[in-house]
Structure formats: C-alpha cells, structure tokens
Homo-oligomer: A and B are copies of this chain.
Amino acid sequence: MAGTDKTRDPILGGPTVVLVDPQLGENIGMVARAMLNCGLNKLRLVRPRDGWPNPAAVAAAAGADEVLDRAKLFDDTASAIADMKHVYAASARQRDMIKPVVTPRLAAGEMHAAAGRGDAVALLFGPERSGLTNDDVALADSLLAVPLNPAFASLNLAQAVLVIGYEWFQAASDSEGRWLETCGEPLADKAELVNFFDRLESALDDSGFLRPPEKRRGMVRSLRNMIQRMTPTDQDLRTLHGVISALQKDRRDH
C-alpha cells in the first residue's frame, strides 16, 4: 500500500514546516538545510519580514535550494494550515493554555502514522525573537516541547527544526545502532583465526613467554580474547602474521 510505503520512507510524506513571521533570511536558509538533512522538503512562510525570495536564505541553505524553491507564501497562519489535519506548535516556553504537550520523539511516531493514513501534518514555528503568539498556538492541536536542560533550553530556529526533523527521520530509519564498518574487507573466518592463534602461541612458546606451564592456559585465553575483540579481517590477520615474522627476525638478528 502507498500509505504503508510512506510511513517507511523517511523522505516521503513528511510534515510541512510553517515559519510564522520569520525575520532573517539566513535563518530561513538554515531551516531549509536542516529540513533537507532530515528528508523534509515542504516549507511554508507566513509574512517573511524581509520579503521573498531572499538571497540571504539561498546562501545559508548550503545547497538545500530545492526546499527554498518549493516554499509557499501565506498571509496568515490560518491559511497556511488550512489543508492540514494536525498541527504541532513548537514552543520552548510553557503557555498559560490547556493543551496537549508532546515530545519530538513521540510526535515522530504520530506523524508517521498520520502519513500512513494520508493525513497532512504541519509543524508551526514562530519568529526568532519571540516565538509563536498565543493566538497561533491556539490554532494548533498540540505543543511540541523538546526535553532539554531546563536551565538553558532555548534553541535557535534551525536547531529546533533539526531536532524535530531528526526524530522524524530516526522513526523511519532502519539503521543498526552499532556495527563494524569493514570497507568491503571480509572478516577472517574462525579457521584462519585459530590458525593465527596457533602460530602466535607457538612463537611465544619458542620465545619462552608462555611460562610457567601452569599459567599457560590462562595467558593463551587472554591473548585469544584480545584478538577476538579486535574482530580482524583477512587482511588484518595477514598483517599480524607479518608482525610476528618481523619480530622473530628482529630477535634472531640481535
């Protein structure tokens, strides 16, 4: 189903970013860059102070021109969100309003579910200096609040967009948490590894390192574990074989 694909592809079906009364073109450009970093490309501008288009925005977008080129202009917030089904208002400060509050991480899941249903979602951001007015917040379904150091929580506009967009992207990312980048090199298989262990231990036996005999088993186990933790590739083992040969030669030469 198209809907299901949308929820799995972070590049499609993303929320629309609505900037209300943005001041500096540079900040609009940095927002565009942060959006494209996160696979978002739908930008709406309500009354940009310095007019539109704005060369300062292009310079700051660092190549995210496609977001700026597609940006749409609106005269007021209500018309900018007219075709939306759910609106999140980004707000660093608490409002004297009874309103659901949601974190970017939870909102990301909600937004992917909405994308799957085909429901359009907007993220509403206010001007740099003051943030959204209470009247604009009252047009939103929920407040988006980024959990940050309560003693120093204020983000600039592009950073707020980045954190929320980042969570949108993570919610669809199938990235593993930790992996070994091997640059296409095959990992050594266990036969090669045991072959190297035998070579190393035999060299160390010859040199008298693995003594006294009652300590040998523990020492061998430690060495094998060290090499295992290295997760060597084929090439790594060839290098290590070379190291042993070189050291043995060195010793013989002395």
Contacts and interface: CB of A to CB of B under 8 A. Distances in A.
A147 B163 contact: no
A236 B99 CA distance: 12
Contacts of A105: 170, 177
Interface in A134-182: 142-143, 146-149, 152-156, 158-159, 162-163, 166, 169-170, 173, 175-182
Contacts of A175: 103, 147
Kindly name the residue among A98, A154, A156, A175 whose own CB sees the greatest number of chain B CB atoms within 10 A: A98
Contacts of A101: 178-181
> How many chain copies does the complex carry?
2
Interface residues of A, number: 54
Contacts of A154: 37, 62
Nearest to A174: B147
For the complex of A and B, 7 pairs with smallest distance between CB atoms? A106-B177, A147-B175, A39-B149, A147-B173, A102-B178, A36-B152, A101-B181
Interface of A: 10-11, 33-34, 36-39, 62-64, 94-103, 105-106, 142-143, 146-149, 152-156, 158-159, 162-163, 166, 169-170, 173, 175-183, 185, 233, 236
14 contacts: A36-B152, A62-B156, A96-B183, A98-B183, A98-B185, A99-B181, A100-B179, A101-B178, A101-B181, A106-B178, A143-B181, A148-B169, A149-B169, A162-B163
